[in-house]
Amino acid sequence: MTQDLTLDTEYRRVRETCGYFWMETWQVGTIEGKDAFSYLQTQTTNDCLALKTREGCANAIVTRKGNLRGTFTLYKTGDESAFILMERMQADQVIASLQEFHFREAFTFTKEISGYCLLGLQGPKSLALLNDLTGQVLLDFKTCENRELNIRGHKVWALEKSLTGETGFVLAFDESVRAQVFEAIEDIGKAVGLGPVEHEAMDTLRIEAGLPIFGLDMDEKMLLPETGLEHTAVSYHKGCYTGQEVIARLKTYGAPSFALMGIVQEEGALPLQHNAEMKLGSKRLGVVKSSVYSPSLERNIALAYIQKDFRSPDQTLDVTVEGQPYKITTALLPFYQPVSNLARAEELHGQAMELYKKDDNLDPPIALLREAIALAPKFALGYEALGVLLSKQKKLDEAIALMKRLVEIDPSEIMAHSNLSVYYMEQGRIEDAEAEKGEATALQFEKIIEEKQKERAREAQTKEQEAERERQVGMFQQVLEIDPIDQVANFGLGTIFFERGKYDEALVPLETVVENFKDYSAAYLALGKTLEKLERNDDAEEVYRKGIAAASKKGDLMPLRDMQNRLNKLSSPAS
């Protein structure tokens, strides 16, 4: 395989196709035994008991004061077993921390599986590559899912892990079959544009994805909520664990003084140095961590810990860094939002249909449609279009095989059975055609009945919900007679009026909340949406800006992102 190691080529390889890299700085350990998950539940920040076999989660260990001790990803492989994927530099600390309170519980740790090697695959076509390697349709992996695969007779574990913001996997297998497995990956990977990716490109991709790493962007001095990991590695619904009180208190009553977010420099500015302190006048604004040039933004960007008064996104600030003037703009993480595989497949489908309209040559659109269903194996529209074009080329056996594959993926797909009926008829297989036509008809009736049942259930649920809303409205109004600025009653009343489409009536209670409880992020979002419905877009923009500032200080990421997206739409020229 030709190896082009230029940074731009490697970057685009991961963003557009698939890149590979050997993960010498990572390792996989294990935990096994009947008490494994109940013990982890008391020692780590995420909900280990909720995991089913093949599922996993990002996880962390903290001190009683909420300081970070280590991070890892847990992959449940069986009822009493799991893999622990961790950076090699953290491994001793992670395992020692997990072992600290292990006394009589029935389980054992292995810090590293002897003789295992790890290969990273990252990019939108990495799932298609795994499908081709195994001869299976694996469909989408859930976040942190794990599966045992067979690649040319060799056992390979595929661990879902995005290190770049794109679809990604860590393949774990025995060193003794390294050459054979890698040869298969290289051989099959040529079709999807597989190639190597070195550290510099990986670092660029990682920082664009807003992923901090231990020892560079975070350390044991930091509270876990400062790092942003609480959004993926913390369960707020599980039972007690070491450090829970501090983390829960920060979630409920405030936000850390400094927290990780992104900064974008103005065009042409020199990159900021690691650990450089930023000041706004005489006030300490924050400290710079990982920085890099971003090909997607065409600017230098950095991860930085920013003081809570300045964590609203899209603020342009004139700061000094080590005494030198800089202009920076704050940004939500990640800097880069990947395009979903389904969206890529839909775009390829559109391109294929345009080619089909313009040219009699069916090969180019067929190639695009093959790529589309490789990216999104459940994309039924792609199967249908590809089947039609193949049938036009008289490749009926292939068209039939394609529809059978879709039936395996989704047995209720009516279109697949209808098309099979047509293709069988063209082959003169009357009996098979009639059978598929009957199956399509039966599924159509089942679908109609199912929709009717769902409609009745929705109507019943709507009546129940309306009765419950009436009860709540009465309760909230009674509370407001006693305390006109009660937070819960006003927000609840405003929300109910909004859901009923009574937007004028929703205004007063929601305005009461934001006027009297200026850190209530959800109320700003609800008020802004109400103002949009009333076509008061200028007022909505103002509310969203105030709400974004409040949510930034408090660390309420979900309403913050929603308000930012709504503000962007309102502010765009098309609006």
Over the stretch 192-222, which tens digit does the pLDDT of each residue have?
A: 999 999 999 999 999 999 999 999 999 999 9
CATH number where 89 lies:
3.30.1360.120
Has residue 307 been placed in a domain? Answer: no
> By residue range, what is the domain housing residue 516?
483-571
Cα–Cα distance for residue pair 443/437, rounded to 1 Å: 10
Task: Answer positive or negative: Cα dihedral of 403, 406, 408, 411.
Answer: negative
| pLDDT tops 60 at residue 247 | yes
Residue 530: how many CA atoms within 13 Å on its side-chain side? Answer: 27
Give per-residue pLDDT as tens, 384-410: 999 999 999 999 999 999 999 999 989
Asked if 47 and 162 sit in the same domain, the reply is: yes
Distance CA 78, CA 34 (A): 11
- Helix or strand or coil: residue 205? helix
Domain boundary among 447, 472, 502: 447
Cβ–Cβ under 8 Å, residues 379 and 387: no
Query: Is residue 552, in this structure, part of any structural domain at all?
Result: yes
pLDDT above 90 for 344:
yes
R_g over Cα of the chain: 27
Residue 453 has pLDDT above 50, yes or no: yes
**Residues 6+ away with beta carbon under 8 Å from 452:** none
Same domain membership, residue 543 and residue 432 = no
pLDDT score of 527 more than 50 = yes
Considering the domain architecture, whether residues 438 and 368 belong to the same structural domain is answered as yes
Asked whether residue 27 is domain-assigned, the answer is yes
Residue 12 lies in a domain: no
Residue found by looking up tokens 């089947």 in the block: 387
Domain boundary among 426, 447, 468: 447
Looking at the fold, whether 83 and 128 belong to one and the same domain comes out as yes
Question: Is 434 part of any domain?
Answer: yes
For residues 52 and 186, membership in a common domain is answered with yes
Query: Of 154, 175, 193, which closes a domain?
Result: 193
**Residue pair 11/119 in contact by the 8 Å Cβ criterion:** no
Per the CB < 8 A criterion, the answer to whether 157 and 198 are in contact is: no
pLDDT over 70 (residue 87): yes
What is the structure's pLDDT at 544? 95
What integer best gives the mean pLDDT of the chain?
A: 94
Mean pLDDT of the 247-257 span:
84
What token pair was written down for 370?
């093959």
98: left (phi over 0), alpha (psi -120 to 50) or beta: alpha
Same domain, 377 and 524: no
Do 441 and 539 reside in the same domain of the chain? no
pLDDT digits (tens, 9 = 90+) for 508-519: 999 999 999 999
Neighbours of 206 (CB within 10 A): 23
Distance CA 368, CA 371 (A): 5
Regarding whether 145 and 25 lie in a shared domain, the answer is yes
| 123 and 172 inside one domain | yes
Q: Is residue 408 part of a domain?
A: yes
Task: Specify the CATH number for the domain of residue 539.
Answer: 1.25.40.10
CB-based burial label for 198 (10 Å; 0-12, 13-18, 19+): middle
What is the total count of domains within the chain?
3
Going by C-alpha positions, the residue among 22, 179, 30 that lies closest to residue 113 is 30
User: 574: pLDDT confidence band, cut at 50, 70 and 90?
Assistant: low
The reply to whether 407 and 555 lie within a common domain is no
Judge if 181 and 99 occupy the same domain. Answer: yes
